[in-house]
Amino acid sequence: MHHFYYAEGRLHCEGIDLDRIADEIGTPVYVYSTATFVRHANVLKEAFRGQDVLIAYSVKANGNLAVLATLAAEGCGADVVSGGEMQRALTAGIPASRIVFSGVGKTAAEMKLALEAGIHQFNVESAGELKLLSRVAAGLGLAAPVALRVNPDVAAGGHPNISTGKAGDKFGVPWTEAEALYDEAGRLPGIRVVGVDVHIGSQIGELAPMRAAFEKVVGLALRLRAQGHAITRIDVGGGLGIPYRSSDSPAPPADYAAMIAEATAGHGFEVILEPGRVIAGNAGVLLTTALYEKQAPDRTFLIVDAGMNDLMRPALYGAHHEILPLAEPAANSAYKSYDVVGPICESTDKFATGRDLPEVQPGDRLAFMSAGAYGAVLSSAYNARPLVPEVLVHGDRYSVVRRRPDFEDMIRLEEVPDWIRTKA
């Protein structure tokens, strides 16, 4: 559920007419709904009531400081995959004791930062990483709380590019090597084994693959306990899918929570969740303005002012975003089929092919729905376009939470060496 809806013929976010934001801030612009973030965090909290759970919001989905601060106020922790994400989480008020650090390529500098902050857990993904973490932690006189991320060899995820739990994926420790690596971890200085971690993919609509993976992981955790490891935590990762189309019906959080309770029941584990998309996805939209209509022999292009640099998911994963006009279409509106494309000089700069929309005129505004996760975080300044701004709505107020850079901002970090002669 989200808080974007038509009222008096205009698309609103909570109490704000989105046209007002487009007028005042310009397009393209991301708009987020505080009430939707809060609702999603609370739906998860409610679903897991009675379980010992840490909801470590996956910062990679949407790492804007205001979004993180909103979720911190709801008691969320954070799942981070870089020192930068960790610093964002800490800056937004998420305590280190609620931060888990995932990712296959942690550097010694990032490990040091996280150890000194005192994070809750490192999710270690390889033997090499384990050895380096041991050295860094022992050098600081600290013990790193570690879960090994295991690869359970279970296929899942809405697209091959977001499946992470199959044997050939780069993520996690191969299933057949996990117990030997735990053995090594148990003997290494600076390492305190605390749990087992798994994350099999993203935009997973059905619970069956997750259940299969979690049951394997709980089995492993119990074997490890029998071998003398103090396994007290199961980190089940993220991955729960969201409805991008009205016809989508992914498993509801309550069923997900019940499945996890069943898989982990009776063993006294702390369960760690790393939800990203399910919290942020439907909490944001990207507003754009139609620039031109261009007729090709077999199709009509609608060229809009947002590009793949602003919202990359369609180009990256073939992802679908519903497109709604800001002006509510009349019941008898004529519809037309469009290829909706952006201004970037790449053929992949396409948001939709053959999409039926109420007829659009240049100047009309549209919203790409469900763009709150993996939207702004994946944006770039390609084609020397300013990074897309972000706005957070709260009731009948809104605030620009990342402003649009001006040209000076965009070139601030660049320098022309003095051996190149430039115009005075």
Q: Is 122 helix (H, G, I), strand (E, B) or coil?
A: strand
Q: Could you tell me how many residues of this chain bind ligand PLP (CB under 6 A)?
A: 17
Using the rule CB under 6 A, which residue among 102, 121, 163, 264 binds ligand PLP? 102
What is residue 134's DSSP assignment?
H
- Catalytic residue (one of 1, 331, 334, 345): 345
Residue window 295-334: x/- pattern of binding to ligand PLP, with contact defined by CB under 6 A: ----------------------------------------
Our CB check for ligand PLP shows the closer of 338 and 368 to be 368
Nearest approach in angstroms of CB 373 to ligand PLP is 6
Tokens of 349: 């700069």
Our CB check for ligand PLP shows the closer of 38 and 242 to be 242
227/242 Cα distance (integer angstroms): 39
Give the helix ranges, DSSP H, for 249-303: 253-264, 277-280
376/29 Cα distance (integer angstroms): 9
Our CB check for ligand PLP shows the closer of 319 and 340 to be 319
* Sheet of 10-13, strands arranged across: 4-7, 10-13, 16-17
58 beta partners: 79
Q: Is 274 one of the binding residues for ligand PLP (CB under 6 A)?
A: yes
Tokens of 159: 């697209």
Stretch binding ligand PLP (CB under 6 A), from 2-10, 56-64, 70-78, 127-135: 56-64
Our CB check for ligand PLP shows the closer of 101 and 269 to be 101
Tokens of 364: 């009309």
Active-site residue, 345 included: yes
The residue among 301, 283, 359 whose CA lies nearest residue 40 is 283
Count Cα neighbours of 338 within 13 Å in the Cβ-side half-sphere: 24
Our CB check for ligand PLP shows the closer of 256 and 269 to be 256
- Please list, in sequence order, all residues whose beta carbon lies within 8 angstroms of the beta carbon of residue 263, skipping any fewer than 6 positions away: 211, 214, 215, 218
Using the rule CB under 6 A, which residue among 27, 33, 34, 58 binds ligand PLP? 58
Residues 362-421 binding ligand PLP (CB under 6 A) are 373
Q: Is 276 one of the binding residues for ligand PLP (CB under 6 A)?
A: yes
**Cα distances (Å, whole numbers) of residue 288 to 18, 19, 200, 305:** 11, 10, 34, 6
Nearest approach in angstroms of CB 159 to ligand PLP is 11
Using the rule CB under 6 A, which residue among 40, 44, 79, 231 binds ligand PLP? 79
Q: Is 172 one of the binding residues for ligand PLP (CB under 6 A)?
A: no
Our CB check for ligand PLP shows the closer of 16 and 44 to be 44
Nearest approach in angstroms of CB 273 to ligand PLP is 9
Task: Give me the phi and psi of 19, to 5 degrees please.
Answer: -60, -35
Task: Give me the phi and psi of 208, to 5 degrees please.
Answer: -55, -50
Residue window 223-242: x/- pattern of binding to ligand PLP, with contact defined by CB under 6 A: --------------xxxx--
Only one residue has tokens 């399910």, namely 278
CB 212 within 8 A of CB 175: no
The residue among 293, 290, 320 whose CA lies nearest residue 306 is 290
113/321 Cα distance (integer angstroms): 38
Using the rule CB under 6 A, which residue among 35, 61, 113, 259 binds ligand PLP? 61
Using the rule CB under 6 A, which residue among 199, 216, 365, 402 binds ligand PLP? 199
198/11 Cα distance (integer angstroms): 39
Stretch binding ligand PLP (CB under 6 A), from 108-116, 140-148, 213-221, 273-281: 273-281
Our CB check for ligand PLP shows the closer of 21 and 376 to be 376
Active centre residues (catalytic):
345
Chain positions contacting ligand PLP, by CB under 6 A: 58, 60-61, 79, 102, 199, 202, 237-240, 274-278, 373
